[in-house]
Structure formats: C-alpha cells, structure tokens
Amino acid sequence: MDLIQIRRELHEIPEIGFQEFKTQSYLKTIIGNMASERIELVEWRTGLAVKVSGSAPRKTIGWRTDIDGLPISEETGLPFASRHEGFMHACGHDIHMTVALGLLELLVEHPLDNDAVILFQPAEEGPGGAQPFLEWLETERPDLLPDELFALHIAPELPVGTVATKPGLLFANTSELFIDLRGKGGHAAYPHQTRDMAVAAAALLMQLQTIVSRNVDPMDSAVLTIGKLSAGTVQNIIAERARLEGTIRTLTPESMASVKKRVESLCRSIEEGYECRVSIDYGANYRQVDNDEQLAESFLRYAQDRSGIQAVRSKAAMTGEDFGYFTERLPALMFWAGAGSEFGLHHAKLAPDERLLSFMPEFLYDYFKLR
C-alpha cells in the first residue's frame, strides 16, 4: 500500500464535520482492498469502525483517527492541493487517517493476539464527533468499544521522529463562544435615536479581556480570545447588530464554568448599559484530554527504547481536542507526533513532512504487540 499516494489523495478531498462523504467512501475502498475474514467494517454516520479479530484475544486495543478538514483556503501551492475550494486539511487529519490505514494493514497482515479496533471519527473540528460516536459505541455496539484507546496529533513544530506526551492533562477544556447583540439602527447623523451595537460590541470586547486577568486565579490558567468582531453594513448607518466570535480554554471544568458565568454577567451589564439584547451561544464544547498515567508511562518507556525515535515529556497545552470524551470514559492516551512543518496547525500553508508515514504505522503496531 502506497501511503504517500493515499495521503495525497486524501489531502485533495477535505470535508467539514459530518459532511465527509467522499472521505468515507475513499476509506471504505482502501479498507475493502484489504480483504480478510478477520475484518468487520461498520459505518456510523460519516465515520467508520473497523474491527480486526486477534488470534487469542484477552482484550481489545483501539486506535482513533479524526477525518474532517477545515474551512480554510489552501495556499501551499502543492500539486496535490485541495480540490475542494475553501476547504483544506490544515490540521493534519489526512496524515492521521493515513497512519491509521497503515496500522490497519499491518494488523490485518500480521494479526495480534488481541482484537483491535480502528475508529475513523468525523467532525473533530466541529460540531464534535467523539461524544456521539462514543455514545453509539456504548449503547449500540459495545463489542466495538476498546479496553484502551490511543491516538496521535501531528506537531508541526517538532521534527519528524519525535513523539511527545505526558501523564494526566495534555489538552485543555475548550468552548466556542458566539455573542450576538441587537439594538436599534438608524442614520449616522442621528445617533441619539439609535442604540449603536458597534459601540456596545467594542465595550463588551474590552470587558471580556478582564476575565482572565481579574477573575481567574493567577495560579490557574485560562484563555478567552475573540477572533472576530463584525458590526454594521455601511459607514453612514448606525449598526443595529453586532457579533463577537471567539474561544474559551481552561485547565479544569470548574474554571470553564466560572469563566462562562462571568461572560454571562458582563453580557447582562451590556444589555442594561446599552439598552440592547444580547444572546450567547457556546457552540461546540470539548472536554480536557487527560491521559491515563499508566498508558503514558508505558508508551514513553517504549518510545525511549525505540531506535530512531526521540521521546519527549511534553507540557500541557491549551489545544482543544474532542478525544477528551474518550479519555473521560476509557483508559486512553494521545501523543504529539513531530511533523516538521514551517507553518503551524490551522495555517493555509501547513505542509507536514511525509517521512512520518514511513515509520509511524510500524512503530504503533510494535507497541500494540506489547499490549
């Protein structure tokens, strides 16, 4: 199986959450070519669960990959750039899927004693596929639920051959944040007859920036970022509507609840002070990724002894990943895999080093054999 070709073909067809129809079809074709009586393939929405029977199973070992792309216009200039205008695999999920397919091929050709399950999960970037996928597994197909689960995420800033993880908290709790303000528009010459939402939104934006500095314990950590503010239509009309879009990230669920409570309090004060209506939508919310301590230590020991691999104990990051729903319910581990790209995650010029594909499936397969 030519993993480079597979990765490039997947890179050409990025699709956003729960719209990964071409991606699912492509994956089914590749998996179908691995004809084996040991394989069971099950569809879940636009995702897949693939079970490979072991020769003398004591448990089921799982691998999870995400499969969706992002609404980003690609600027890599690569000959295999996205053919879906306005969409790109800018978070490395094409690499993730290819690693999973390479691992699956090894599991089929060289069966383990234990059963193995590969989960091709949609909608990691939003609205969130892990939680409903997990709920379906628990209620409808518990036989496909692994006893322990592993996953990786590419790290563009790390060189190829590096793997990095830690026991406990790896990624933060995250929540999207959308705030809509509605006032009264009118002519720019008569501002006293209006309720200007450009001004209200600007005031709210500044107040929101005080939450982390004045409402979060300095020994804790949180991020509240507003990445987009929009208001009004043209220069001589008072804005009747405004919208702020952002993200909240915290290291504990308690801090997330506290930050949201303060957001809501500030929005109520804006309603009163600017005589307007304010609505809040928290969008997709992801649980923190908490690595199982025993799995993390086992994996790091294995990686340290592996020739050609540089194992690193990483720090926790404010990155968001819905793999946290799995770590909440199962012994699970996620790690960073160095991908050596000049440009980072969610960048229009992200170009992971494909050399990662030459060793990662075998590296994982050999670790699975030890489980």
- Binding-site residue positions for Mn(2+): 91, 93, 125, 153, 346
d(CA 238, CA 195): 8
Token output for 294: 């025993």
Beta strand 285-286 with 47-52 is unpaired
Among candidates 285, 250, 96, 224, which has minimal Cα distance to 169?
250
Which one from 125, 148, 196, 240 is the annotated catalytic residue? 125
Residue 67, Cα to own-chain centre: how many angstroms? Answer: 10
Token output for 158: 């790390």
Among candidates 78, 67, 64, 65, which has minimal Cα distance to 15?
67
Among left, alpha and beta (phi > 0; psi -120 to 50; other), residue 269 is alpha
d(CA 47, CA 23): 9
Catalytic residue at 66?
A: yes
DSSP symbol at 316: P
Return binding residues.
91, 93, 125, 153, 346
Crossing angle for the helix pair 93-109 and 360-370, to the nearest 10 degrees:
50
Token output for 252: 């504990």
d(CA 62, CA 144): 9
> How large is the C-alpha radius of gyration of the chain?
23
Token output for 227: 């990445």
Catalytic residue at 176?
A: no
Which one from 66, 105, 290, 321 is the annotated catalytic residue? 66
Token output for 98: 């290819």
Active-site residue set: 66, 125
